[in-house]
Structures are given as structure tokens and as C-alpha cells.
Structure 1
């Protein structure tokens, strides 16, 4: 099979760049929403720029927290290994301590992986196209929040929108904003919301969000027929 031409490779790289930029923009929007003023009247261009800057600072703080937690877990892992050598009463106890040490080390490594990714995220967040799309999401969401919330309320089963965790509610709102008002295909908006939930929501948050958004897309399609 013939390989891609340089032109084709260039298009692929361009599309990947756009997807990555929008992924970071969604994350910025999510981190910004909780810091917005309650009323639309107080939401001007400068205040939006300020909350995006605050979101970047939140990412920086998250990296620092991840590094501190990783260091603490590595220390605990080292302590467990030392205890397995000096305090274990039998082989089974030693194995248990070593297993705990390995689990702590693995958790620390995972945290370090997150911390390493964040500086790249911050760098991308400072790009104009990333900030512009984050601002577009936030502006559009705030301008159409009543309609967005109505759609979500219809799609919720045995739940009330105002009783959801704030992060889950905001992820859902961002996804609906993109699907209904910004022309993002349903599949992409839902998948991106699930990825945000895996990063910021609870253990089962991504499954819950996926289910709600699937019902939203069904309702939107039914209304447009």
C-alpha cells in the first residue's frame, strides 16, 4: 500500500494539531467556568481573559501538587521496602510489604506522568487559537445556559441537574454547547467529555456523563427530524 504523500501527511498533522488545541481549550473552559461571575452582565472580554489566565495558574498548581504527592508516595514506598527487610515476621508479611511498596511506587510514577504532561498543556494554553476557542466555549455556554440546562434536565434520569457535582455539570454543559451551538459532531463532543470526566470526575463519572450525553444526542436528533 502506498504511503501518504507529503501533502497528505501535512493535512493529518494539521488536523491532529487542531484536535489537540481544542482538547486543551475544553480543559481551560472547564477550569474557568467555576470562576465566572454569576450574571451575564458582568461577563466582559477582560473578565473572560482573566479567568482563562486563572485556569492556567490552576494547571500550574496541579503540576506542583502532583509532584509533591509523588515524592510523598515514593518515600512511603521506600519505607515499606525497608520494613520488609527489617521488621517482617515471616515471608508472607515481607511479600505484603513489598507489594504495598510497588503499588505506591506505581501510583507515584502515574502522578509524575501527569505532572510531566502539564507543562506542555500550559504552553499550549498560551496559544491564541487555544484561548480563543476556550473563550468561545465559555461565552456561548453562558449566553445559552438556560436552553443547555433544559436539554440536560430532560436527559437526566432520576437526577436533578443542580444536585450533580459541579465538575460533572460543567463537563455536560461544555459538551452540549459544542454539539448544539458550535457545530462539533456528536461523537467527538461526547468522547471529549468522557475524557475530561476521566481526568476530573469521580471513578464512575465518565460512564454517567456518557449515558446522559447519549440521551441528549437522541433528543436533539429527534427534534430536528
Structure 2
């Protein structure tokens, strides 16, 4: 499994937790075994999901700040999962370049969401990244 595939696994798991409104990792180990995910990818997935669960409210606050008239409850759940994963990486996983997190989020939106979602996600993440740069 590549890092890209591991990131998609994280996004799908986040989406599932959001749909079920159950933010826990109760069935994670079973899914990792079924997918035959290697140790390095398991560590990335586990770290990412634990950070997402711990920081979900903060991530949603950040996302809402850049939605321009929208709320997280109005955007598609898959787009929210993609945004959460990307902003979590930008904020908490320093070993991943910001550009990679943004590009991977845009690619996931193209693959899993609507025709317009990738532009929306790119806009939100681009605005967020510029706000971080302005603070430096």
C-alpha cells in the first residue's frame, strides 16, 4: 500500500465515522487486517486517525472559517472528510509537505466527490495555507 492509499483509507474511515456519528477506532484493527496493510502504513493510519478524532472540533472550526457563508453541516460529508484529513496533515504531520496534502486532497475530491468539489476543496485549502503563511 502506498502513502496515497493509506491517506485514502484514513479519509474513508473518517467519512464512515462521520456518517455513523461514532468517532472511535473500535473496528480499525479488523479493517487493517482485512486490507493486509503493512506496519508502516498502519502507523500512519493509526496516528492520523487518532489525531483526527482528538482534533475533529478544532478542524471543523478551521474549515468553517474558510467556507465563506457555508457551514460544515451544509457541505457533502465526503468533502468534509477530505478537508479534515488535509488540514490535520498540514497542522499535525510536519513530515508531509503542505503541497502534497493539498494535491492529494484535490485528487481524492476528483475521485470520490462531485465535479465541482475539487475546486471547492482546493480553494478552502489554498485560503487556509495562505492564512498560515501570512502569520509567519
* TM-score, scaled to structure 1: 0.54
Show structure 1 runs of 5+ residues with no match. 1-19, 57-124
Aligned to 1:48: 28
CA RMSD of aligned residues (A): 2.1
Correspondence 1:44-123 to 2 at 5 A: 44=25, 47-52=27-32, 56=35
Aligned to 1:157: 68
Match of 1:32 among 2, 5, 13: 13
> C-alpha separation between the residues in 1 aligned to 2:57 and 2:132?
16
Bigger RCO of structures 1 and 2 (CA < 8 A, at least 6 apart): 2
Task: Describe the shift of the 1:218–1:137 C-alpha distance in structure 2 as closer, same or farther (beyond 3 A).
Answer: same
Aligned to 1:174: 85
> C-alpha separation between the residues in 1 aligned to 2:134 and 2:9?
32
CA deviation profile, 1:91-141 (whole Å, cap 9, x unmatched): xxxxxxxxxxxxxxxxxxxxxxxxxxxxxxxxxx62222222122211111
Greater C-alpha radius of gyration: 1
Aligned to 2:127: 215
Match of 2:49 among 110, 135, 138: 138
Tell me by how many angstroms 1:166 deviates: 0.5
* TM-score, scaled to structure 2: 0.85
1:21 matched to 2:13? The reply is no
> C-alpha separation between the residues in 2 aligned to 1:202 and 1:53?
31
Tell me by how many angstroms 1:221 deviates: 2.4
Show structure 2 runs of 5+ residues with no match. none
Residues 32 and 51, structure 1, Cα contact 8 Å, conserved in 2: no
